[in-house]
Structure 1
Amino acid sequence: MSVGLILELDIGNTRSKWRLLDNGQSLALGALDTAALKRGELPVAWSDIRPQRLRAANVAGETVADALAALARDRFGLEAEFARVQADCAGVTCGYRKPGGLGVDRWLAVLAAHRLDPRAALIVDCGSAVTLDLLDTGGRHLGGYILPGLGPMRRALYSDTDAVKVREIRSPGMSLAPGRDTGEAVNRGLPLMVMGAVEHALAELRRTAGSEPLLWLTGGDGEFFSSLFPRPHELVPELVLDGLALSNP
């Protein structure tokens, strides 16, 4: 069991999340630009904390990892503990041929989802990239899919087509009925691409598992997609951070 103050970070390519735990209970939660972390700029909320450990999931590259390691030593006198993908951990077997090729954020989300419920599940992280990971009963990771998130999809569409450069309109629970103008068609079509991929992955997993899989949502756009999915699902915004306690107990 974790003891004392632990500072946790989920470091993405553009945005990072952090959480302060005290004996396993969340005391504070926040976000910062990864570029600021790279420059060694600390959130004001960190000014008075003295964690006993610092553990992190990093997908932003070695430069950011080095910056965080230096920050941990200089500011807190700690060695940063970086999560790593393993062939087996916490009852889950990695489905990648080379486990080190799987993004550590995906791995931690899978570990956390399996700990919450060991049934077959699809874990969807809705960020700049949308990742879908299939988890069979018994903790067998089956691999997954990666596709562009809403922002990159929109930018890709705009880059080669002039007539569809419409104003972004996004609201919780928005209609996904066929658009009656170009703005509606674009703004409703983009989330449908993600939702269609999710339905395909669920069908694949349903055939493999022989049962109805669970659906877990996380990531920056997780709340938006949660408002659109008509099927039962669970939204867990800190799923990646939750996995750190399993990979780095």
Structure 2
Amino acid sequence: MLLAIDIGNTRLKWAQYRDLRPGATPVAHGAVFLEQVETLAEGDWAGLETPSQVLGCCVAGDAIRHRVEEQLELWDHLAPSWVVPSSSEAGVTNGYDHPMRLGSDRWVAVIGARHHLLARGNATQPLLVVMAGTAVTVDAVDDHGNFLGGLILPGHGIMLRALEGGTAGLRVPTGEVVDFPTNTSDALTSGGTYAITGAIERMHRHLTERCGRTPLTLVTGGAGWKVAPWLAVEHELVESLIFDGLLVIASERERMRAIGK
């Protein structure tokens, strides 16, 4: 029984699995805003079957992680494991200049995406992994499973708050995405959307030129559904990409323990 935890910049998401197979259906799952993590032990987690292991990734900082670990004391025999990016894991090689400085959520999502590719029998197709949330990341994996690097840019909310803080008169309601905006609301919403999709399409072009083959593009994250309709390259929405990555890592670590490595 695995309890998988994804601590993002805004929310903590969790899922519990009996099966370590990526794509498995969780027996329970949920999400809370980071301000509410102290409610987990007496709330969402109180009725769960006791997990045998806890594996998570955290990008919200040590303070939040420690608060979550206090909630995990509900099961006093458990010591949670937190994913730290390394030079390679689960068939993916990390090409970051300093591998441990790569965001753990990006690393886990890339591993989950690579599994999706292998499960389809397309081991030699490159990958573009997009996570759209508070921030947006666009990561490239070549046709041999080498993580090449990626982009980080602000999500919609950060863009709008930056404009509101730095420009007078832009506190307006959210608008629509249109080709030729004729009001400020539509101009802001369209500008943010096209900035994000433009970055994705640029990286898609770079990766296609690098590998000589069109990448499989997977989009995940809480705001993925907002970005996807305006993306001009073929893509798929995969809601559980980070959890799939955690399942891959847990399964691979279990296998290595079983053979004594």
**TM-score of the two chains, using structure 1 as the length reference:** 0.90
Amino acid at match of 2:146: R
> Do the aligned partners of 2:3 and 2:54 also contact (CA within 8 Å) in 1?
yes
Q: 2:155 aligns with which of 143, 149, 153?
A: 149
Per-residue deviation at 1:192? Answer: 0.5
> Do the aligned partners of 2:130 and 2:137 also contact (CA within 8 Å) in 1?
yes
Q: Identical aligned pairs, as a percentage?
A: 32
| Deviation string, structure 1 residues 128-148 (Cα, Å, up to 9, x no partner) | 110111110010111111000
| Deviation string, structure 1 residues 35-89 (Cα, Å, up to 9, x no partner) | 222x364473322112121111111111222222232234453111111111011
> C-alpha root-mean-square deviation of aligned residues, in Å?
1.7
Amino acid at match of 1:57: C
Aligned length: 240
Give, in whole Å, the separation in 1 of the partners of 2:58 and 2:42. 18
* 1:46 and 2:57 aligned: no
Instruction: Tell me the residue number matched to 1:184.
Output: 186
> Do the aligned partners of 1:11 and 1:57 also contact (CA within 8 Å) in 2?
yes
Give, in whole Å, the separation in 1 of the partners of 2:232 and 2:150. 22
Matching of residues 23-102 of structure 1 within 5 Å: 23-24=19-20, 25=24, 26-37=26-37, 39=38, 41-42=40-41, 44-49=43-48, 50-75=50-75, 77-102=77-102
> Do the aligned partners of 1:36 and 1:42 also contact (CA within 8 Å) in 2?
no
Instruction: Tell me the residue number matched to 1:105.
Output: 105
Comparing 77-86 with 104-113, greater Cα deviation is found at: 77-86
* 1:198 and 2:194 aligned: no
Per-residue deviation at 1:232? Answer: 1.8
Give, in whole Å, the separation in 2 of the partners of 1:43 and 1:148. 34
* 1:21 and 2:27 aligned: no
* 1:168 and 2:174 aligned: yes
Per-residue deviation at 1:150? Answer: 0.5
> Do the aligned partners of 1:134 and 1:201 also contact (CA within 8 Å) in 2?
yes
**TM-score of the two chains, using structure 2 as the length reference:** 0.86
> Do the aligned partners of 1:123 and 1:217 also contact (CA within 8 Å) in 2?
yes
Amino acid at match of 1:86: S
| Deviation string, structure 1 residues 112-165 (Cα, Å, up to 9, x no partner) | 111111320110100111011111001011111100000000000111112332
Structure 2: gaps of 5 or more residues: 118-122, 252-261
Instruction: Tell me the residue number matched to 1:210.
Output: 212
| Deviation string, structure 1 residues 162-206 (Cα, Å, up to 9, x no partner) | 233220136xxxx43110222211111111100010111111111
> Do the aligned partners of 1:51 and 1:76 also contact (CA within 8 Å) in 2?
no
> Do the aligned partners of 2:201 and 2:231 also contact (CA within 8 Å) in 1?
no
Give, in whole Å, the separation in 2 of the partners of 1:8 and 1:43. 18
